[in-house]
Amino acid sequence: MKVLYFLDSTSPIAQDWVSNASASPGVDVRVVCSRTGRILTSCSGMASTAVSGTSARKSRRLLGQLKQSRAANLYFAGRAFRHARRVLVAESLRFRPDIVHALRLTYEGLAASSVRISGTLVVSIWGNDFTLHGARSITRQLIQSHANRFEGLTADCDRDIGLAQLFGFSVSHSVVLPGSLGVPDLFFTSKPSSMVRDFASGRRVVLYPRGIRPYAHPETILSALERLSEQRDDFGSVFVGIPLSHPLRDRIQASPISDRLLTLPPLDRATLSEVMAASYLAVSPTSHDGTPNSVLESISAGCLPVVSRLESIQSGSRTR
| pLDDT average, residue stretch 256-285 | 96
pLDDT in tens, 125-164: 998 899 988 888 888 998 999 999 999 999 999 999 999 9
pLDDT in tens, 162-216: 999 999 999 999 999 988 777 889 999 999 999 999 999 999 999 999 999 999 9
User: Mind spelling out the 3-state secondary structure of 28-60?
Assistant: EEEEEECCCCCEECCCCCCCCCCCCHHHHHHHH
Superfamily for 186-319? Glycogen Phosphorylase B; (3.40.50.2000)
Handedness of CA 122, 125, 129, 135 (dihedral sign): positive
Half-sphere exposure of 209 (CA within 13 A, CB side): 32
What is the domain partition of the chain in residue ranges?
2-176, 186-319
| List of residues 6+ apart from 268 with CB closer than 8 A | none
Judge contact between 262 and 280, C-beta under 8 A. no
Q: Mean pLDDT, the chain, as a whole number?
A: 86
| pLDDT average, residue stretch 253-265 | 96
Q: Same CATH fold, 186-319 and 2-176? A: yes
Prediction pTM value: 0.82
- Architecture of the domain spanning 2-176: 3-Layer(aba) Sandwich (3.40)
Please report, for the chain, how many H helices and E strands are present, in that order: 14, 12
